[in-house]
Amino acid sequence: MSTDITTPASPVVLPPASGAWREGDDPGHRSFLDLPRPLPLEVGGELPQVRLAYETWGDLRVDAGGRSNAVLVLHALTGDSHVAGTTGPGHKSPGWWDALIGPGRALDTERWFVVAPNIVGGCQGTTGPASTGPDGRAWGSRFPFVTARDSVRAETVLADALGVERWALVVGGSMGGMRAVEWAAMEPERVERLLLLASPAATSADQIAWAAPQLAAIRADPGWRGGDYHGMPDGGGPHVGLGIARRIAHLSYRSGDELGTRFGRAPQGDEDPFRGGRFAVESYLDHHAEKLVRRFDAASYVRLTELMNAHDVGRGRGGVAAGLARVRARTIVGGVSSDRIYPLEQQAELADRIPNSAELRVIDSPYGHDGFLIETPAVAAMVTELLAD
């Protein structure tokens, strides 16, 4: 009689149809604001109901002149309002700029009131494609095209509700930088200081081209179902397409030199790439794809990528120079030396064309575009410099 014992294989945990936060989930550290009236959209029409999810740290103080200690932090494409803090109920990922916010840090919460909203069209509590529409069904494919200006309009309502007449600082990187520069152009009297990181005045053809195969991968996934997959069971959404999109995007977020130094041509563990196994760099991309499909929504990824493609601070304002001339804030523009998706010349353009002697700072980093998230001491130094006066 055989005495072999077979250990049961671990069950396969299918990815959810959508990794979005949904009504009824644990709110975590989020607060919510329901806009009191429909949100008019730049392309026409309106969103009849909008809820903004946001997080705050510290306490608001406003002096007799209306100047406040409020700082607005705006996230990148797959970020959200959870800028600082740990994982836990309601939060699948730790704070993406955790080392920047808290007592004794650059954004010292004993001095500054920090606010971070989730963008309109996002999937972590703010109204987006995964949210329930007025008819009780997920918005899905019916969710309209939104722009950075639409989200800024919603965020001005949030500022009013919080009692913030003027931001001491607005800071954002990548997509967050697009929102930040729109804040400064749309509401110049409400932005005292501005920090733009790894972002452009207008999205280039090259950047739109990088986005095209990402959008195509999601839409080609049978689980996409035209954008109406939110009621499907686990495994039924476009997670394959979203994972491919994430792999493509992540390549643009890191530099070739970093990938070469970090992985070279090494195999993944004992896998043999010549017999169906993976190289270590392939495993790295697989890991990031797997993480994203469990915490993000494919339709939000599509809508927000389209939002980034549409970004142009000069649209309807007489061109980029005229759009940037609206900015009144004291400004620092930070770029990453090895950024191959938003290269330094785009930050140089912002610094050259924003009035009031905007200054360019270069973050010397091998990490590519993600350097604005990784090189926290360099970002902290820029924040500290702006807030010193």
Residue 202 makes CB contacts below 8 A (sequence gap 6+) with 311, 312, 313, 314, 315, 320
Q: Is 365 a catalytic residue?
A: no
> Tokens 């990148």 belong to which residue?
76
CA distance 176 to 100: 16
Tell me which of 221, 339, 365, 370 is the catalytic residue.
Answer: 339
Instruction: For residue 104, count other CB atoms closer than 10 A to its CB.
Output: 8
Contact 108, 101 (CB under 8 A): no
Tell me which of 18, 81, 174, 252 is the catalytic residue.
Answer: 174
Q: Is 75 a catalytic residue?
A: no
Tell me which of 29, 91, 230, 369 is the catalytic residue.
Answer: 369
Q: Is 174 a catalytic residue?
A: yes
Quick one: tokens of 97?
Answer: 């700029």
Contact 223, 237 (CB under 8 A): yes
Question: Taking every pair of C-alpha atoms in the chain, what is the biggest distance, in angstroms?
Answer: 88
CA distance 355 to 296: 37
Instruction: For residue 60, count other CB atoms closer than 10 A to its CB.
Output: 14
CA distance 22 to 25: 6
Backbone angles phi, psi at 342, to 5 degrees: -125, 80
Quick one: tokens of 216?
Answer: 């195509």
What residues are paired with 333 via a beta bridge?
A: 196, 360
CA distance 42 to 149: 7
CA distance 29 to 161: 18
Quick one: tokens of 304?
Answer: 């927000």
Taking each helix axis as running N to C, give the angle between helix 239-253 and helix 280-293, from 0 to 180 degrees, rounded to the nearest 10: 120
Active site residues: 174, 339, 369
